[in-house]
Amino acid sequence: MSRDSSRDMAEKWLLAEPDEDMRRELQLLINGPSKELEERFDGRLLFGTAGLRAEVGAGPTRMNRLVVRQAAAGLVDYLLRTVEGSAEAGILIGFDARRKSDVFALDTARVVAARGMKAMLLPHVLPTPVLAWNIARLGSAAGVMVTASHNPPQDNGYKVYLGSGAQIVPPQDELISDEIESFDATEVELAPENSPLIEVLGDACIDEYIKWLPTVRLCRDLPKITVAYTAMHGVGGDTVVKAFASAGFAPPVVVAAQQEPDGSFPTVSFPNPEEPGAMDLVIELARQSGAAIALANDPDADRLGVAIPINGDSSGDWRLLRGDEIGWLLGDHILRHTTGDDRLVVTTLVSSSLLGKMARKNGVSFEETFTGFKWIADAAIRRSDKHLVFAYEQALGYLVADRPLDKDGISAALLMTEIAALATKDGVTLQDRLDQIAAVYGQHVTAEMSVKMSPSEGVAVVQQLRENPPKMIGGRVVAGIEDFPEANLLRVWLDEVGGRGVRLQIRPSGTEPKVKLYGEAVDMPESELQKLLAALAPN
């Protein structure tokens, strides 16, 4: 796009932009260097299976009220065209505490109402699982959650669910995107805030969710244990405290500095429990309070991070559990305390293979899906003849019940607390539990690494490996290669296909400029597995 056409579009956006801070930013862009202006107005923020997610800023390639209005209009028209009765069923809309989440949610409701559809707004900032869980309860045609999950503080996003309570998958994303593109972002019609089609819901939406949460528990008559918890400045804090009380647990000891919602995330540079240092405050609180376990939600509370004391001594050193280790503990607990040959467990291609081995040993159906919880939900919907009892992805996403069809860091926190309390009752540590699992299935070791490169370079790297597969990696024989073209993922087996062989995987990231590599082996030092990943990695 030329400088003149970018300027013309920017001036049109300036006239339509409702927020003073965005108008100031637009004016600076118009007056500033052409490169930045052209970048902001070259195309639009693409709507995909994760909805929208980007830095809050002015222009069609950032998150702002005009972009949100355009997205809402496209979503509504898609629903009206494809879902019978959607106007009456309406859209449920939630939001977190990030910058502009509240106005993005209200604008969505006003667009929905202007197009003749019912809009239901959650009453205040609430976790994503509350939104997802209530879609089915209310029978809404879709749900929108305004959140950027665990992204950096400057970002915001727009996550879309359909009436099943599951996130969208292809081709729904492309069809919605086509509808969005048919609207001029500067001319989307808005209903008044007091439109009769806009309903601000009461507290029943949170109360019913809290009332349901104890049903995820599998064991009773357990000792009270101390749990340290952090909301990481997100919106999960109040809900988690209520959830613990509803489930019959002692109140968690919370990190006061991180308990209240704050979209600037003042004590963490990257509010993701996986990031080094992000759980430091809750681990220190756990050490001081003699806690049995430390738990952390990400800012919208759909993910769960866990730390445990090394050697069971809460006053000593602690370590973060990897996402797969949490999955192993949850999966083992659920399979040991549920029954039925109709049970189903699900995980993703890049998560550990151990859940599949647990499923086989317990006579339970198992599905492996593409990366992303939307695909886990898709698998559960496809296997409606089975009863979903557990699903997880290694990026700290867990579903410990058959609803909502999305990851839920709050119900997972309750079940992890139950696991820790049961370990206390049995006189063992959580590390002992992991060792017991390893004694049955072998010591599974996982490793990850990434290499920065452009998306096109990442695709080319995987394609080159696909066309010219290696015969040796790190001095080990390549025994087999599995290709998952829909996920653009290659799985390389060393020494032996399946069983106790080494599994290496490579794929370009769908959200970041990097290639990601994943390794898994049984009874191998992690350092050796890392060397094998490095041998597969592009230079």
Query: Distance between CA 450 and CA 468 in Å, rounded?
Result: 21
- Which positions ≥6 away from 79 have C-beta within 8 Å? 86, 91, 117, 141, 142
- For residue 201, what are its two tokens? 């819901």
Q: Omega before 309 cis (within 30°)?
A: no
Q: Give the amino acid at 303.
A: R
Active-site residue identified among 86, 101, 140, 149? 149
- Nearest by Cα to 314 from 292, 296, 294: 292
The answer for residues whose C-beta is within 8 angstroms of residue 334's C-beta and 6 or more apart is 218, 345, 389, 390, 400, 415
DSSP one-letter string for 306-336: EEEEGGG-TTS-EEEPPHHHHHHHHHHHHHH
CA–CA distance, 37 with 14 (Å, rounded to integer): 13
Nearest CA-CA partner of 134 in 192, 92, 72: 92
Report d(CA 473, CA 533) in Å as an integer: 9
Calpha distance 30→16 (Å, rounded): 15
**Catalytic (active site) residue 149:** yes
CA distances from 133 to 201, 213, 277, 380 (A): 15, 11, 31, 15
> Going by C-beta distance under 8 Å and a sequence separation of 6 or more, which residues neighbour residue 435?
none
Query: For residue 381, what are its two tokens?
Result: 């919907």
The answer to whether the beta carbons of residues 212 and 276 sit under 8 Å apart is: no
| Residue count of the chain | 539
Q: How far apart are CA 296 and CA 231, in angstroms?
A: 6
Q: What sections of 393-498 are H helices per DSSP?
A: 409-426, 430-441, 455-467
> How far apart, in whole angstroms, are the C-alpha atoms of residue 506 and residue 373?
19
Q: What amino acid occupies position 113?
A: A
Tokens of 67: 């972009």
Q: Cite the active site residues.
A: 149
